[in-house]
Structure formats: structure tokens, C-alpha cells
Amino acid sequence: MLKVILNKNEEINILNGYPWVFNNEIINFEGNIENGKVCSVYTYDHKFVAYGFLNTNSKIMVRILSLNEEDVIDKDFFKKRISYALEHRKNLGWSATRLVFSEADFLPGLVVDKYGDYLSVQFMSLGMDMIKKDIVDILVELTGCKGIYERSDMPVREKEGLEQVKGFLYGEFDPRVEIIEDDIKMIVDMENGQKTGYFLDQKLNRDILRLYAKDQVVLDAFSNVGGFALHACKYGAKSVVACDISQRACDEITNNAKLNGYTQLEAKCVDVFDYLHSDDIKDKYSVIILDPPAFSKNKESLKKAYRGYKEINMQAMKIIKSGGYLLTFSCSQHMTPDLFMQMVNEAAHDAGRTIQFLDFRIQAPDHPALLQSEEQLYLKCMILRVK
């Protein structure tokens, strides 16, 4: 097995639980380089640190698998890891849930989402991609799923030297699957929907509308397929407008509303930035949900993303009714909680509104994070009351 030798003191973060070794942290290799295979990581003075997947073509050269030198990294190892992840999700008891969340579940580069009887999977690292068949076999055995669809069509695979792919891995089925979330029926498009088909990480944040939606006029901005809008309807909203720039998404919102008999929901195919500047919506909405896509994909784009987040929050605060509730989100990992709060405070100042801070929320517990890897705490929510 190839040995990866670290620079002095680079092992400290790894031993504390950080899941990656970057190319600039390595001083030497001992043995034959086989990208995608398991390697062993050693300190500068040749003491064992960890096992991990190797890929010298990536800035993340090693993705840590285990700190235990006694471990054997074979199919049974991955079966035990997946079983450990499934145990937590069984405790949650959700029929639509994330079963495996990559490094946060000690399975670097593997994401598995469950939609009823079917699984949607992503292989994001070369090492995990090379054992795809074993992973599929394990998932079928442990979950008893009827089918598995691959959604490895994300750009991050190209950094690993992999092509973007999607298609059936086990069984053949209609990839448009009906799920039930909080007694709401929804169609999830496992083939063409966002992420693996739906934003499962917002489950508890959607359900929190039970505290705020009753008898309110609600705007769900950047609605995607209408998760927040549908929950607002369930919890008694007087009327709901769901906005998205995608006509496909708006069609899905309309279909999901019909599926549940929610007649108070209207989908608008518009640019949310433009809609928030509309002259006729000031004081119309008493609840506004802002759940935009990740404006910042890297640190270089953070300043521009900050301006975008501030703009939509400022406009939402300008138009919301006095006493209204604003649920505002960021899923950009580089927008840290402190930076997010700073942005919201500046937006309130520029909008000339006074805000009360009611709640701070993160991703659902089927999307865990390692405390040593702050980028995994990517989803942030502030719930505000605007005077």
C-alpha cells in the first residue's frame, strides 16, 4: 500500500477529525501511486495517521477513511460504515431522507438519498466511484430498495478526473416518484430534479411554518418545486405565491398543489430579483421565505454573493408588512453564520426596518456535519420579525 508522508505537524487536524489532506500538506510518497486506491498516511517521522482514498489529480489528494491502523478497508468495512449511517436515519423515521452524507458520515464522496422505496446516489470521489458496484450491492442488501438511480452529474466530479453521469444502477422504474413529507404529497424527479431530486436538507425548516403561516399571505421566493409553499398551505395560509425563474419548477409547483388540493397557491415564473422590486407588492406579504441557490461556490465569489444576499433581504424587508415574518436562508458554505448575520443586519439598516431575531436554524439532522470541518455546516436560516 502506498504511503503518503505529511509535512511536519500536518497530522494535527487529521487526528482531530478533519477529513481531507491537501496536496500542499504532503512532502513525499513511498510506493506506487494508484489513484482511487486506498493509501496510508504517515507523519513526517513515519508514524501512522490514517487510511484514505488517494487521488493525486485533485487538490484534495487524500480523503480520510479511518484513523484506526487495525482496520481492513474492504467491502465489509464499507458495509459497517453504511449500516452505522442507516441506524441514525432509522431513528428519524422519515420516508424521504438522506441516508449517507459523504464525509460527515465517514464515507467520503458518497451521497445516498431515499425517496420512498427508491434510492438516488451520487459518487463524487474517484475512490468511491471505483467501488460503485460494491456500494450498490450493500445498499440493496441493507435497505431492500426497489431501485437505485445515479445522479453523479455534478461538476465536482471533473475535479476528480471523472465524467458527469446519471442513469439506473439497480432496477428500472419511473424516476418521477411520489413521496409524502409531513402528510404533503409531492412528486420528486430523481432524473432531472435539483440535487438528487429534492432539497431534503430543509425538511424541518419547512415544517417550522406551522408557527408562522396560519391566515397569512405568503411569498415563497426561489421556490424550486414548492416545498415551503406547500407547507404554508398545509398550515393554513390565506394565500401563497411561489416564485421561481424555472418554468419546469413552476409546473411542478402547480402539479404538487393540485395533488394536495391546495387552491390558494399560485406559481409565478419570474426573476425573483425583479419581482421583489415590483411596485404593487409593498405591504402585500406578511410572511416571506427567501431560499436562494448558493450565490457563492468559492471564496473568490463571496463578495459578489454577499451583495446578492443583501439585495434580496433588503428588498424583502422593504416590502413586507409591519409585524411580518421573514425566513431567510443561505446554503453557501463560505457565507459563515457570523457573516450571514452581519449581512442581514446591514440589509435591515439599509431598508430602514427594525428586526427582531426569533430563531437560527441549520440543515436537518439527516445532514450531519463534523465540527472539525466547518464547510459542512453550509445551511443557515434566520427567522425574523420585521417592524
The phi-psi region of residue 56 (left if phi > 0; otherwise alpha if psi is between -120 and 50; otherwise beta) is alpha
pLDDT value at residue 374 = 82
Please state which of the four CATH numbers 3.10.450.40, 3.20.20.220, 3.40.50.2300, 3.30.750.80 is assigned to the domain occupying 75-174. 3.30.750.80
Question: Which cell goes with 374?
Answer: 466547518
Tally Cβ neighbours within 10 Å of residue 124: 20
Residue whose cell numbers read 398551505: 233
The phi-psi region of residue 382 (left if phi > 0; otherwise alpha if psi is between -120 and 50; otherwise beta) is beta
Beta bridge partners of 323: none
Instruction: With beta carbons less than 8 A apart as the criterion, state whether 114 and 96 touch.
Output: yes
Instruction: With beta carbons less than 8 A apart as the criterion, state whether 290 and 329 touch.
Output: yes
Burial of 298 (0-12, 13-18, 19+ CB in 10 A): exposed
Residues of the chain within CATH 3.30.750.80 domain(s) are 75-174
pLDDT value at residue 300 = 79
Closest to 173 (Cα-Cα) out of 194, 147, 140: 147
Residues of the chain within CATH 3.40.50.150 domain(s) are 199-386
Instruction: With beta carbons less than 8 A apart as the criterion, state whether 122 and 150 touch.
Output: yes
Q: Which CATH architecture does the domain made up of 3-66 adopt?
A: Roll (2.30)
Tell me if the domain spanning 199-386 has CATH number 3.40.50.720.
no
pLDDT along the chain (387 residues), means of 10: 97 96 97 97 97 97 98 98 98 97 97 98 98 98 98 95 97 96 97 94 98 98 97 98 97 98 98 95 97 83 92 98 98 93 98 98 97 90 98
- Rounded to two decimals, the pTM is 0.95
pLDDT value at residue 148 = 98
pLDDT value at residue 349 = 98
pLDDT value at residue 301 = 83
Residues of the chain within CATH 2.30.130.10 domain(s) are 3-66
pLDDT value at residue 224 = 96
pLDDT value at residue 298 = 76
pLDDT value at residue 355 = 98
